[in-house]
Structure 1
Amino acid sequence: MPTVEVADLKDGDFLLDVREDDEWQAGHAEGALHVPISEFAARYGEFTQAVPQDGRIHVICRSGGRSAQVAMYLVQQGIDAVNVDGGMQVWAAAGRPVVDAKGEPGSVL
């Protein structure tokens, strides 16, 4: 499974958050696209329209398990996707900004 460290992510990298709504509402990376894993199959067509044509998709969840499943599926579809190692827990621990649904400082559930 291709992975990337949080420290290697740059501003502007395409980030796909596959956590559930309550997790997203509590705190997420600003600018990430939210498609819960439970809705991923149903929203795949919508999701593919948002994907940058020439960029890599960085898939993130709480700790890396769900995002690894989605990243593997995307790779099997021929999409350049990687799993963010350690997920939002590592993101927050690294001091990366986490915002809630209102744009205020958030937390990782």
Structure 2
Amino acid sequence: MKSLSELINDPATHLIDVREPYEVDEVSVDGAENIPMGDVADELEKFKSMEGNIVVFCRSGGRSASVMQFLQQNGVENVTNGGGYADVQAHQK
């Protein structure tokens, strides 16, 4: 299994920021797509169609943990909780 750092730096990994757009406007992560937590259920098919690994993250890791659990319960196995955006940024090369 890849480490979080390896996942984050793999070009095939989808970085998904589940914070609200106004939070992303304040601080964003290079290469991340913003899908707010409230929109994740509506975007389930998009997540299911993603090739490669998915790393979800938010401000502190709480929302992304909930999103990861929801996705796994709905058949998305290739998802990892990256924690907060600062954690993801710290791993980026």
Alignment TM-score > 0.5, same fold: yes
Identity of aligned residues (%): 33
Give the structure, 1 or 2, with the largest relative contact order (CA under 8 Å, sep 6 or more): 1
As a proportion of its length, which structure holds more helix? 2
77, 82, 85: which is aligned to 1:84?
A: 82
CA contact (8 A) 2:15 2:55 kept: yes
Gaps of 5+ in 2: none
Query: In the TM superposition, what is the alpha-carbon distance from 1:36 to its structure 2 partner?
Result: 0.3
Aligned residue number for residue 14 of structure 1? 14
Q: 1:88 to 1:81 in 2, by over 3 A?
A: same
TM-score in terms of structure 1 length: 0.66
**Count of matched residue pairs:** 88
In 1: Cα distance, 2:82 partner to 2:64 partner: 7
Larger radius of gyration: 1
Structure 1 counterpart of 2:47, which letter? T
In 2: Cα distance, 1:15 partner to 1:62 partner: 14
